[in-house]
Structure 1
Amino acid sequence: MRARSTTVQGNPQNLDKGIHYVSDRVLPAVMGMDGFIGLSMLADRQSGRCIITSAWEDTAALQRSAAEVKAMRARAADILGGPATVDAWTIDVLHRLHPTHPGACTRVTWMRNRPQHLDGMIDAFGMSIVPRLEDLPGFCSVSMLTNHDDGRSTTAATYDSRDAMQASLERATELRRDFARAMGAELLEVATFDLVLAQLRVPETV
């Protein structure tokens, strides 16, 4: 399974307009495309930063959608009021403990490792980190996306609410630190977002 993420550093004042555009125009359009299996949108209402991620059955479906999605991406960036950057990923880990509801929040972690170490990192994350995340109060789901060309990975852990996410901070920080050290990975960034849109049919891998 593949994913395409579009990150827009937008204007906080434009977020609601951008969310409505993605929900009302982008989502219905991509739902009709062959191989589409999901879309999510994360938003930081303080900074205006948004991450819109679409999921596809395979590389061919990802590539078939590229031209039409490009125009919608440009329009979303224009509405949100900021530049857009695009990344392609492989969906290596996806686990849902239960569905999300309005008010859910997500903590996203970006790491980098040597490309040849990614397979071992993916296995270790699924076997050792996912079961520990399940024990955190308010935990909903987690995904791990990777770029096997440059060794980058991004994990997104979603919680019922911002309070639940904040309550998990100490334990999640410890898990992240220990995992990065054990895998020899470089921690690039950690950021938190509101989960403002989640329409996912991506099959679980764990």
Structure 2
Amino acid sequence: MFVRTVYATGDPAELGTAIRALNSEGRDLLEERPGYRGAGVFVDRNLGKLLTVSWWESEQARHNSDEVMRERRTALLAPFAGTLAVENYEVAVFHVLPRPTAHGGLHLIRLEFEPADADQLADAFHATVVPRLEALPGLARAALFLDRERGHGLAGTLFTDHHSLAASRAAQAAARQAGAAKVQMAVVGLEEFEVVHADAHAG
């Protein structure tokens, strides 16, 4: 599986307009694309941040979809988006528990690593980090996305509610430390978002 992320920042007062456009026209456009396997929308309403993640069954499907989405993206996110960054990743780990995610919370870690260590990082996340995370109350998903060429990654955990996310912070810090002990990596960003919706069919 492969994903494309879109990270936008702008005026918090305009964020609702972008969310409505993504949940209507944006979702329709994605669902028309071959190889589409789901999407998520995550926001920070106070700071004015928006993250979208779309899932694709192959790199080619993701590439083909972007030819259409690139033309419509700016209009969909207007007038909210003042800055826009688009990135592509491979889904290295995707661990799902059958729990609801709407209106829950996303804990997101931005990573940097040596490209040659990508497989070692994925193994460490699956074998060391996931077992620590899956015992956390309210956990719904844990995922690791990798850009092997650039040595960039995203590690995300979704929770059913914000209370569970907040209560997990100490345990997540311990899990990060345990993972870092297995493979050399740098945590370069730590963020939290509200889950507007999150659906992905990675099987």
Is this contact kept in 2: 1:112–1:186, CA < 8 A?
A: yes
Pair 1:151 & 2:151 matched: yes
Matched residue, 1:183: 183
1:180 touches 1:187 (CA, 8 Å); kept in 2?
no
Distance 1:89 1:163 in 2: 29
Q: Aligned partner of 1:183: which letter?
A: V
Structure 2 CA distance, aligned partners of 1:199 and 1:102?
9
* Structure (1 or 2) with the greater strand fraction: 2
TM-score where L is the length of structure 1: 0.94
1:72, CA displacement in angstroms? 2.4
The answer to whether the 8 A contact 2:128-2:178 is kept is: no
> For 1:188 and 1:154, how far apart are their aligned partners in 2?
10
For residues 103 and 60 of structure 1, the distance between their equivalents in structure 2, rounded to whole angstroms, comes to: 32
**Runs of at least 5 residues in structure 2 that lack an aligned partner in the other structure:** none
Instruction: Tell me the distance in 1 between the aligned counterparts of 2:102 and 2:33.
Output: 26
Per the TM alignment, residue 2 of structure 1 is displaced from its structure 2 partner at its CA by 1.2
Q: Is the 8 A contact 1:43 1:49 kept in 2?
A: yes
Alpha carbons 1:6, 1:73 under 8 Å: kept: no
* One-letter identity of the residue aligned with 1:158: L
Distance 2:112 2:68 in 1: 30
C-alpha contact (below 8 Å) 2:42/2:195 kept by paired residues: yes
Instruction: Tell me the amino acid that sits aligned with residue 154 of structure 1.
Output: L
Q: Match of 1:52?
A: 52
Give me the whole-angstrom Cα distance separating, in 2, the residues matched to 1:16 and 1:91: 29
Determine whether 1:71 maps to 2:71: yes
Hey, what does 1:131 align to over in structure 2?
Answer: 131
Q: Distance in 2 between matches of 1:121 and 1:93?
A: 10
List alignment gaps of at least 5 residues for structure 1.
Answer: none
